[in-house]
């Protein structure tokens, strides 16, 4: 009996194995379809870039861009990006795979979606996502009548035109609709299919005109509305204030008028509001939602008079933009109590052309700015008071970790920047120490990429520092605004990274004693009129001494802090290296890298190409030298954000890498993955156990 049971168990195991093998075998019809696709696609793209060319396994589940279900019994996803396909004849063949859930053909040169594709793919019962962004599709929007289960449709970044009306009628399950960066005209559509579960509506950068209909608010599940850069007029619909889940409202760069309702800004989930570059009037309501993180209202006709006190109650606010409004008076002292947030707290102001700067002829005291040195500051103080109309807000160009920054034209015609402590800050020992610390550091450093300190004033009426004026402002603001960001090309961005590297190398290795900045972020990198970069804001910097081990409070910009500070509380120059890596990624991505910092070492990042994360506001670089420089910057950045401080390179090593001969990138940039860059080794440039530390 025992032998029988033993044989039976072996038979059962054999049966299970055969059953599993049969179940795991992909159907022959899908194999045939994939072979047909292989032959079609092979003739439609450059052979050297074709991902299935070298080793084409008979099993399509092993092909790049093809995803199957958990036991490889059928194909579920087809994601074939960045190979410049222009011929769309293969699309109807693709729709013969009836188990597809996702089709991603973004970043090609496809010019049309054949009617056969729309018919056959419209019959796929499981299709949930269609992604054709960044192609060359033109003409009217195709009719999506049969796509009953489609949840995400992305056709952004094409050349589609005409109006949008009944083409969306069949979309009853749609949650995400992206049609931005096309050439659609007419009014903003209010009939977006029969789906009442729509969550995201992106119609940015089109040619829609007229007023925004209140009917959009019928889609009560909306969490994000994007209608920026159109030709919209009229007022913001009052019913937007009735959307309970709204988190993002982007209506910038239109011709909207009227006021901002209190119901809109009091929505409990609202986190980002961008209404900049319109003609909105009136003032901000008092009862704004405490969840607001980004409030962008620049270039309107808002806020006649001073900044309302309600702003200071937004304790989650990370960025406030009130540039180009009708502001006057002083900045409320209470704004200084707001949290620095992930990117630091900024008021990115810009001057209106109609604002009058005091002329040189009206000045009576002609003290040279350099006379502030070793002087009581009396004459220079009076000049500066007149030049800024006693620090009127219309001359304010920014607010940072401490103090506000003003633009002043002196009697000599020289333009300078002034960092002035607010009264409450001047009375606070911490800010007073930061002020004096910045003077101490900057009077002893000399480097072409570190902002110049012309002098300072410790007057009993106010305290201010006098700096070299930077016409383009902070790197943070330059990357935030689309027009400014598009003016900073890839070569300039690489040069900015290089300048920061040289400045930090000087501080760490060429100054005695070494200096750690402690707060490297895009807020503290300034740009002049030639887009040259300068490291600024040394209020929290420290002279480094090998025997120092004091531990104090972290005073840095969140989002740029090295992870080891969470448990060691001791700053080393490798903390600056980490922050430099974050800023370098921010420069080439056009935004803070965010979650990428923690995800780039995971296996899933293997499918993410560097071109996936580059700033989309710039055309992809085609020059091999420029592409090679971008790869160099990305490689440096990933080495710098290594979780282990000793594995990070030194700034001297990075500085020397920039000074070595640049190499052209041999392979196309679109073939370089983030995981490949992360795995590239960069020498730390320093023997073990040679890290200089200092108190936080």
Cite the active site residues: 519
Contact 474, 523 (CB under 8 A): yes
Distances (CA, A) of 512 to 195, 444, 507: 66, 10, 9
Angle at which helix 490-505 crosses helix 651-659, to 10 degrees, equals: 130
State the Cα–Cα distance between residues 657 and 636, nearest whole angstrom. 9
State the Cα–Cα distance between residues 609 and 602, nearest whole angstrom. 14
Strands 473-474 and 525-527, how do they pair?
Answer: antiparallel
Contact 582, 561 (CB under 8 A): no
**Sign, Cα dihedral of 619, 623, 624, 630:** negative
Beta bridge partner(s), residue 32: none
CA atoms within 13 A on the CB side of 690: 11
Per-position DSSP letters for 111-141, written without gaps between them: ----HHHHHHHHT-TT--EEE--SS--EEEP
Token digits of residue 693: 């530390």
Token digits of residue 142: 């195709």
Number of C-beta neighbours around residue 181 at 10 A: 20
Strands 294-296 and 272-274, how do they pair?
Answer: parallel
Per-position DSSP letters for 225-284, written without gaps between them: EE--SSEEESPPPGGGGG-TT--EEE--SS---S---HHHHT-TT--EEE--SS--EE--
Contact 597, 582 (CB under 8 A): yes
Angle at which helix 490-505 crosses helix 573-589, to 10 degrees, equals: 170
State the Cα–Cα distance between residues 589 and 485, nearest whole angstrom. 11
Question: Which residues lie closer than 8 Å to 237 by C-beta, 6 or more apart?
Answer: 212, 213, 214, 216, 217
Contact 490, 618 (CB under 8 A): yes
Which helix (H) or strand (E) segment holds residue 184: the answer is strand 183-184
Which helix (H) or strand (E) segment holds residue 75: the answer is strand 75-79
């Amino acid at each position: 009996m025992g032998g029988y049971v033993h044989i039976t168990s072996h038979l059962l195991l054999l049966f299970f194995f055969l059953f599993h093998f049969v179940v795991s075998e992909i159907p022959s019809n899908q194999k045939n379809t994939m072979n047909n696709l292989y032959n079609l696609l092979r003739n439609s793209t450059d052979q050297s870039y074709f991902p299935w060319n070298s080793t084409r396994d008979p099993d399509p589940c092993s092909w790049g861009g093809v995803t199957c279900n958990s036991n490889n019994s059928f194909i579920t996803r087809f994601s074939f990006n960045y190979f410049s396909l222009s011929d769309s004849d293969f699309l109807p063949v693709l729709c013969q795979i009836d188990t597809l859930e996702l089709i991603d053909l973004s970043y090609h040169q496809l010019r049309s979606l054949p009617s056969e594709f729309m018919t056959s793919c419209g019959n796929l019962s499981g299709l949930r996502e269609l992604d054709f962004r960044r192609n060359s599709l033109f003409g009217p929007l195709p009719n999506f009548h049969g796509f009953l289960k489609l949840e995400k449709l992305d056709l952004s970044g094409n050349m589609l035109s005409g109006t949008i009306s009944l083409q969306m009628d069949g979309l009853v399950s749609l949650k995400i609709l992206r049609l931005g960066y096309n050439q659609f005209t007419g009014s903003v559509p209010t009939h977006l299919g029969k789906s009442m579960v729509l969550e995201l509506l992106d119609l940015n950068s089109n040619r829609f005109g007229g007023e925004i209909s209140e009917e959009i608010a019928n889609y009560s599940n909306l969490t994000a509305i994007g209608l920026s850069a159109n030709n919209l007029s009229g007022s913001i619909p009052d019913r937007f204030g009735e959307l309970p889940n709204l988190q993002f409202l982007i209506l910038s760069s239109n011709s909207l008028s009227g006021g901002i309702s209190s119901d809109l800004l009091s929505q409990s989930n609202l986190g980002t509001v961008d209404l900049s570059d319109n003609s909105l009037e009136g003032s901000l309501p008092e009862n704004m939602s405490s969840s607001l993180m980004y409030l962008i209202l620049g270039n309107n006709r808002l806020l006649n008079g001073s900044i309302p006190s309600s702003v200071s109650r937004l304790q989650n606010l990370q960025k406030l933009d009130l540039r180009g409004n009708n502001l006057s008076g002083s900045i409320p002292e209470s704004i200084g109590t707001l949290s620095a947030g992930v990117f630091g707290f900024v008021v990115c102001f810009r001057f209106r052309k109609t604002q009058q700067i005091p002329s040189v002829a009206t000045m009576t005291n002609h003290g040279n700015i350099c006379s502030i040195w070793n002087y009581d500051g009396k004459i220079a103080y009076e000049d500066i008071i007149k030049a800024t109309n006693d620090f009127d807000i219309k001359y304010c160009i920014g607010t940072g970790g401490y103090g506000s920054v003003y633009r002043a034209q002196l009697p000599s015609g020289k333009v300078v920047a002034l960092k002035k402590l607010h009264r409450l800050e001047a009375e606070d020992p911490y800010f007073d120490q930061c002020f004096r610390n910045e003077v101490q550091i900057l009077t002893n450093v000399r480097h072409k990429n570190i902002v110049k300190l012309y002098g300072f004033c410790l007057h009993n009426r106010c305290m201010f520092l006098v700096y070299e004026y930077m016409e383009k402002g902070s790197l943070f603001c330059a990357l935030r605004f689309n027009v400014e960001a598009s003016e900073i090309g890839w070569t300039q961005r690489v040069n900015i990274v290089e300048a920061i590297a040289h400045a930090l190398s000087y501080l760490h290795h060429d100054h005695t004693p070494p200096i750690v900045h402690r707060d490297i972020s895009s807020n503290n990198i300034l740009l002049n009129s030639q887009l040259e970069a300068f490291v600024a804001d040394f209020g929290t910097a420290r002279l480094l001494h090998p025997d120092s081990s004091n531990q104090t409070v972290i005073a840095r910009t969140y989002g740029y802090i090295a992870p080891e500070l969470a448990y060691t509380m001791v700053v080393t120059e490798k903390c600056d290296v980490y922050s430099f890596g974050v800023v370098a990624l921010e420069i080439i991505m056009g935004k803070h890298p965010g979650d990428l910092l923690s995800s780039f070492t995971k296996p899933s990042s293997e499918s993410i190409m560097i071109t996936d994360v580059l700033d989309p506001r710039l055309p992809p670089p085609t020059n091999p030298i420029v592409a090679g420089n971008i790869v160099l910057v990305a490689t440096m950045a990933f080495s710098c954000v290594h979780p282990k401080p000793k594995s990070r390179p030194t700034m001297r090593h990075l500085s020397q890498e920039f000074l070595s001969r640049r190499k052209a990138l041999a392979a196309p940039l679109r073939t370089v993955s983030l995981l490949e860059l992360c795995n590239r080794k960069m020498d730390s440039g320093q023997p073990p156990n040679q890290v200089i530390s200092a108190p936080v």
